[in-house]
């Protein structure tokens, strides 16, 4: 402690009460029902047959959650979160306090980051803070007619902060309320996304994270206290009582908002089934054509029996075997330390394309194929992409200035293609191959023609960034500086007014 006692203002998070230590019913009477209302809920569901909650009572998770009313800048977590704008220069109470406590070095460090896109998370040192690191993220501006995009972006903020904390082996994270009042996001809607995203991450990937602190103001505290029991019930009784109060959209298995209309796909030939359909039972397919005898025709039964006699597995069996194999890879990916691969910054999530689909970026020059463990690279790919591939997405591969030591072997690519879950192939809508060479075009043609099926029509060779920007606007993609410099040198500066379609 210095002579002025300045350090005494910092808060030791180990002294704070965790959520499981808070008394049930301590929610201003808004969410945790009284015994009377609980009995009403029991009668709604039937006392003996209450449906299972999507957020069951988990004491181990509740011990990791802290609700703190105060300044996030004062927490001595491993990292605290700063909510800012795209240039990381926002003036809001949270940012102002963090900058005041961290000192002038923070401003200089932020200039080196060259901004941060909405939904992304970037890290700096904590400087004079008690926290070792600051994770900066940019929440969306809220407009009712663009609510879906705002929800997805806010989810990405919390998800990417947690992912960064895991990759950097951080023990504790202190969250402010991301997306300030200046950006107009309704507090209660934002709180739902914050609480469920963190909950899902702790369930699926949070073994190494010991504590998550939600630092709120006195105005925000009642909303958090009201909604916390929905996602972090402190008993089975509170779990049952909170169930009818959950919103209709609780997201997918990772907490990401689900958009029903994006789950409807129109095939090229309506009435036919996709070859890579994940349905492995005949009954699930009969709904498309009816349940009468004609609908149950199974093709050449003698041929099927002959294949079985010859020892060949059925398609359903092959699919189940493939799923088991993929799950083994996924378990390894979640358990192994992949921080060295993550540090390469070769694969990352950015914004969305003009159709609202998630954009993933692959930077060829950042993959030193001859120097790294390619099996770990495959594990990292699976780890990052598993939750992305549950819905439609696009890949942007920057082949810019790659050398011989950056070229991925076709056998390795075939292995990746064979291992990944069917959803990877089904939901990949486009693969943009930026700055291809003649050799890479030929290699791609051979690979998509003879090694894999169903990929050729999704690959688009993109000669200039101006072409890419007709599908993904510049504000929605984080492009490495060397790619921008190369494109400007070879193709000239980008002029939005002269864009043309791919």
Task: Report residue 12: phi and psi, to 5°.
Answer: -80, 110
Tokens representing 91 are 């003036």
Nearest to 263 by CA among 151, 146, 327, 356: 356
Q: 428 pairs with which residues across the strands?
A: 393
Residues 235-273 have pLDDT tens digits of: 999 999 998 899 888 888 899 987 654 444 444 444 444
Q: Tell me what pLDDT residue 260 has.
A: 53
What DSSP letter does each residue of 79-140 carry, written as one string?
EEEEEE-TTS----HHHHHHHHHH-THHHHHHHHHT---TT-EEEEE-TTSSSSEEEEEEPP
Domain topology for 6-245 = 3.40.220
Domain residue spans in the chain?
6-245, 339-498
Q: In what order do the strands lie in the sheet with 428-434?
A: 347-352, 358-363, 393-398, 428-434, 459-462
**Segments of the chain scoring below 50 in pLDDT:** 1-7, 28-48, 261-299, 301, 304, 308-309, 498-501
Q: Tell me what pLDDT residue 132 has.
A: 95
Residues 314-359 have pLDDT tens digits of: 667 778 888 888 988 988 888 888 888 988 999 999 889 999 999 9
Nearest to 365 by CA among 209, 480, 193, 212: 480
CATH class of 339-498: alpha beta
Nearest to 239 by CA among 50, 440, 22: 50
Q: Are 298 and 315 in contact (CB under 8 A)?
A: no
DSSP helix/strand/coil, 277: coil
Q: Tell me what pLDDT residue 300 has.
A: 52
The whole-angstrom separation of Cα 429 and Cα 426 is: 8
């Amino acid at each position: 402690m210095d002579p002025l006692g300045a350090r005494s203002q910092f808060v030791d998070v180990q002294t704070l009460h965790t959520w499981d230590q808070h008394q049930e019913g301590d929610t201003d009477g808004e969410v945790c029902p009284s015994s009377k209302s609980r009995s009403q809920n029991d009668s709604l569901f039937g006392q003996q047959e209450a449906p299972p909650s999507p957020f069951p009572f988990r004491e181990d998770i509740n011990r990791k959650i802290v609700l703190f009313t105060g300044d996030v800048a004062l927490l001595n977590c491993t990292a605290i979160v700063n909510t800012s704008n795209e240039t990381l220069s926002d003036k809001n109470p949270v940012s102002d306090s963090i900058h005041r406590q961290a000192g002038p070095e923070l401003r200089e460090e932020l200039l080196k980051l060259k901004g941060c896109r909405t939904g992304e998370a970037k890290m700096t040192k904590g400087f004079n803070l008690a926290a070792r690191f600051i994770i900066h993220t940019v929440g969306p501006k809220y407009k009712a007619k663009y609510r879906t995009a705002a929800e997805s972006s806010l989810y990405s903020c919390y998800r990417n902060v947690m992912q960064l904390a895991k990759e950097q082996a951080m023990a504790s994270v202190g969250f402010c309320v991301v997306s300030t009042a200046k950006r107009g996001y309704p507090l209660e809607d934002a709180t739902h996304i914050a609480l469920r995203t963190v909950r899902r991450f702790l369930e699926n990937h949070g073994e190494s994270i010991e504590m998550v602190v939600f630092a709120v103001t006195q105005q925000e505290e009642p909303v958090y206290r009201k909604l916390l029991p929905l996602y972090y019930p402190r008993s089975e009784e509170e779990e049952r009582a909170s169930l009818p109060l959950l919103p209709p959209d609780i997201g997918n298995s990772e907490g990401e908002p689900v958009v029903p209309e994006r789950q409807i796909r129109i095939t090229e030939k309506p009435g036919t089934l996709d070859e890579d359909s994940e349905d492995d039972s005949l009954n699930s397919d009969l709904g498309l054509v009816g349940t009468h005898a004609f609908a149950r025709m199974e093709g050449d039964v003698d041929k099927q029996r002959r294949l079985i006699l010859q020892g060949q597995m059925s398609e359903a069996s092959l699919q189940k075997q493939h799923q088991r194999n993929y799950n083994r890879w996924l378990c390894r990916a979640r358990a192994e330390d992949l921080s060295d691969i993550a540090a390469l910054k070769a694969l990352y999530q950015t914004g969305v394309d003009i159709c609202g689909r998630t954009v993933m970026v692959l930077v060829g020059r950042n993959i030193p194929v001859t120097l790294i463990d390619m099996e770990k690279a495959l594990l990292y790919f699976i780890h990052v992409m598993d939750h992305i591939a549950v819905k439609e997405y696009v890949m942007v591969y920057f082949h810019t200035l790659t050398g011989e030591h950056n070229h991925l072997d076709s056998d390795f690519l075939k292995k990746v293609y064979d291992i990944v879950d069917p959803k990877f192939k089904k939901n990949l809508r486009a693969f943009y191959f930026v700055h291809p060479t003649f050799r890479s075009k030929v290699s791609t043609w051979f690979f998509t023609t003879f090694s894999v099926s169903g990929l050729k029509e999704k690959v688009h060779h993109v000669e200039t960034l101006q072409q890419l920007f007709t599908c993904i606007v510049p504000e929605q993609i984080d492009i490495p500086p060397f790619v921008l410099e190369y494109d400007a040198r070879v193709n000239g500066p980008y002029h939005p007014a002269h864009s043309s379609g791919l």
